[in-house]
Amino acid sequence: MGAIERSGYRFVPEYSVIMQNGAVHVYNQDQFIEEIQFQFSGKFPEIDQIEELIDEYCNQHNI
């Protein structure tokens, strides 16, 4: 699962199967902005779950 680009922002997902949690790191032009944490179940997070988090973030921040 690679980075997702939206309007100059880059969203980089990372996750731990053992801990069943993850984070999406938000960057704007290589500058770290913040981390969006999430939890999941199963062997890996669903791409739809990550895209939904990114969509919500973009809507809240007018991106």
Please state, rounded to an integer, the average pLDDT across all residues of the chain: 94
Cα 30 to Cα 3: distance, rounded to the nearest angstrom: 12
The count of other CB atoms within 10 Å of the CB of residue 54 is 19
Note whether 17 and 32 are within 8 A (CB): no
Q: What is the pTM of this model?
A: 0.88
pLDDT at 20 over 80: yes
- Look at residue 2 in the predicted model and tell me its pLDDT: 86
Residue 3 tokens, joined: 């980075």
Residue 12 tokens, joined: 């980089």
24-39 residue pLDDT tens: 999 999 899 999 999 9
